[in-house]
Amino acid sequence: MPVRREYPLLPLASVHAVILRADEVLLVRRAHAPSQGRWSVPGGAMRLGETVRQAAEREVREECGVGIEVEQVLDVADNIVRDEDGRIRFHYVVIYVLARWVEGFARASSDASAIQWVHCDRLHALDMHSSAREAIRKARAFGSTGDKR
């Protein structure tokens, strides 16, 4: 039975990866609701039987064409979007992880209308969820450069 993303019966788990490279973070512009047109760190819904690590690695590869290695969980946030009648249209429990780039060149897939490495000093000018900003802040506090090979 397919999972209902819109007007779900239960909250859906989603994993998003903060991937740093020096003073830049990899961002995608969402192509679909609920965050269509907004910038975010790459990620998406978990599949049944996947671990958080596996889901993050799969989502980033599908969305960005980049291979990552998950280092640790950074934060957990709720993304609850109600419609004009107050009904819950979307409900995601978002798990943010810190990851490092290991291979590949970033390119947008069908889930992203754009993708780019953004200097962290420019994040304030982008339309982003506050939870994604907070996850990036926490990742930077850990001092990861995104490539420790």
Q: What is the largest CA-CA distance in the chain?
A: 51
pLDDT at 144 over 90: no
Q: Give the C-alpha separation, 29 to 41, whole Å.
A: 9
Q: Give the C-alpha separation, 113 to 81, whole Å.
A: 21
Report pLDDT for 4: 87
CATH fold of 12-136 reads: Nucleoside Triphosphate Pyrophosphohydrolase (3.90.79)
Give the pLDDT confidence of 70-100 residue by residue, as tens digits.
999 999 999 999 999 999 999 999 999 999 9
Q: Which three-class secondary structure string do you get for the chain?
A: CCCCCCCCCCCEEEEEEEEEECCEEEEEEECCCCCCCCEECCEEECCCCCCHHHHHHHHHHHHHCCEEEEEEEEEEEEEEEECCCCCEEEEEEEEEEEEEEEECCCCCCCCEEEEEEEEHHHHHHCCECHHHHHHHHHHHHHCCCCCCC
Give the pLDDT confidence of 63-78 residue by residue, as tens digits.
999 999 999 999 999 9
Give the pLDDT confidence of 26-49 residue by residue, as tens digits.
999 988 878 888 999 999 999 999
Cis peptide before 8 (omega within 30 of 0): no
